[in-house]
Chains A and B, each alone.
Chain A
């Protein structure tokens, strides 16, 4: 139908029906707003028990401790949106730290060693992407394999010993200020969050992530490059996991083989709290980041109040449950008629 015939069809039809032309921000970020409110309430609740929880110092603690999880969650989110899952991020995180520290011990500078570390992410992301798209294996199985392999390599690199960071200036990656007044860990979080959110919302290639996750078969028939999209998601996820591994060793100045072992489940939890469905097709970067923030606030609160840290998992579990219930409730209202 040409422009003219569209016009004609319009004239033939009854009075034009009003259709919203602008997306309402509240409608689009309903889940995210709810999580943000929940985080504030949570912080206030902790603050009522331990006043210092609401200090700037503690805020800095939370963001610095939470930055790696947030960045990793953004990567996992990309995979989850396409309907996949990435179980290998924690292992890739650890292996990156070990390889980078080892490279420094062998005389590489901070920059060179970091690039080698990111290479770990690139390699494992490509393996994941290749096995999922070309070989057609299930993402759960593929990333379970790379989780096991990268996890064991993280021990092999140093024979299980932890490894101090060789470059004395390496702390600058995490705590330096490329932008005056803003520590790098916040800068990285903000830049990655905004970039990924814009990519997902406004770029056609980003919309393909959702389309592939919504129905891979439909996306294929539509001519959407399904394999390329999935491949990119796994590479991005591993690269972001690698990068958050670098941030962490730059913060604690020590690399450990098991550093990332608890992070994978936390990252998946963050993505789910943020409103993404593990079935694919939904989720936002803002949501995943808030999910990561919530988990960090919970951990921080449990520490400050002095609850036995063994309870952390249970509290996080309840938080996931509440988030999922809120999400379900708010979605059911959108399914009218």
Chain B
């Protein structure tokens, strides 16, 4: 941090209400030039709302926002907003255009200017080369739709830089990245902060990452700032969790062996591919680690999402391969997708339909409503979801809360197998622990759990066995709980920790 700091953005006493609900009750937040700043808070604390107000996509009710340029001079608000770029989990890139076109597009915002092909490509190269010279040289003419998530993030950051961003706000950028990609992203951010004076605001629920990357942090709780720009190193993990209002996070969680004892005996589900066999007794929790290729193929096979000959299962009453997710669900194989926004939430349907969807399929119910209403409310309260009505749309809830809706779909449904993709993505630390416990409860009632996570610490905590895939999608090994460690996982999955 510098001695004489320039604050790129300063927010004082920001308030915002939606109807009768006060979301922000006086938030303070300031970001200095060239710092990496972690913005923390539980689901629904008001982080997203504050960000939306800073970027101008929502109007404030009260309070002040001040933008300053590199020299410390105040900027008009409209101009200041344009120096702030948010990189969302779902990238805002145009998949049918090339990398170069995506990067230079904001420069053609008037729509009337003539597109100078050569100049544009050069500008795009210059922007991208700041980030990664090799990537810039090899990828300028690729379609954005063909890029990996990490590459897409680099393109978005390059685009932000080239259109004059002084502050980049990353919303859980590492949720879908491998460990190696995360490390590359972090070193890039550190370099841009140090050399280009870029300010980075980083939203994450992963304590380890916060420690790794953030110089300072701000914690928001219930619409108020409870920790205002304090050096991250001066706060202990416990303090951070406490300040976020999530003491429950430190409630003792059941050990894996404790769960084991409660598990009913019965036939094991066997998953096979050539030269490999995984037998899962009732109540087992199998973790899956590694880059998407391998886990996706296994999960598709387990839930009938895609037809592939690679995997087969044997379990009484089940076919070797499910023909569709419909067949899987009716035979007691549940699935909660990790692609919340594209393949998870039913955006135009009320909360109740979102929550009850899997139950309706599994039970073959014909009528909606009635007793479902009470059941749905019980589920929402068990997951501490705050909603005014069962008929609100899911978009009225925060991202983490929407994740809870997906989880509620299979929670408590008597099922033989439950496949989870990143079930705690976007969920705050306190809720994560609650989710772990709820899943353990399901396991102890005999459901076999298959849990894919890109967060190795999570696999260590929850799973009693982990199957690791390498970057090519091949199975690299199966590790029992006793031998699990982050290093071992990193080694097998081929991603440097």
Contacts and interface: CB of A to CB of B under 8 A. Distances in A.
Interface of A: 1-3, 5-6, 9-10, 13-14, 16-17, 19-24, 27-28, 201-207, 210-211, 213-215, 217-225, 277, 280-282, 334-337
Contacts of B208: none
Contacts of B330: 223
Contacts of B445: 2
Interface in B378-403: 378-382, 384, 386-393, 395-398
B93 to A, nearest CB: 19
B348 A277 contact: yes
Nearest to B369: A202
Nearest to B384: A13
Given A1-B382, A23-B391, A223 B21 contact: no
Contact of A207 (B337, B343, B349): B349
19 contacts: A1-B411, A1-B412, A6-B378, A6-B382, A10-B378, A10-B381, A17-B387, A19-B389, A21-B377, A23-B389, A201-B369, A214-B346, A215-B345, A220-B325, A223-B326, A223-B330, A334-B392, A337-B23, A337-B397
Nearest to B352: A23
Nearest to B397: A337
Interface string B337-353: 10000111111110001
A207 B351 CA distance: 13
B389 A221 contact: no
A6 B412 contact: yes
B423 to A, nearest CB: 14
Contacts of A334: 392-393, 396
A23 B390 contact: yes
A225 B326 CA distance: 7
A176 B194 CA distance: 84
B368 A202 contact: yes
A337 B396 contact: yes
Interface of B: 18-19, 21, 23, 44, 49, 303, 305, 324-330, 335, 337, 342-349, 353, 357-358, 360-362, 365-369, 373-374, 377-382, 384, 386-393, 395-398, 409, 411-412, 438, 441-442, 445
The 4 closest A-B pairs by CB, nearest first: A223-B329, A281-B348, A336-B18, A20-B389
Contact of B335 (A27, A206, A221): A221
Given A17-B386, A202-B369, A203-B367, A218 B346 contact: yes
Contact of A219 (B44, B346, B412): B346
Nearest to B374: A21
Contacts of B328: 223
B205 to A, nearest CB: 19
A211 B325 CA distance: 15
B364 to A, nearest CB: 9
A324 to B, nearest CB: 16
A208 to B, nearest CB: 8
A1 B346 contact: no
B368 A201 contact: yes
Contacts of B365: 204
B337 A19 contact: no
B69 to A, nearest CB: 32
A19 B329 contact: no
Contacts of A207: 349, 353, 360, 368
Contacts of A14: 384
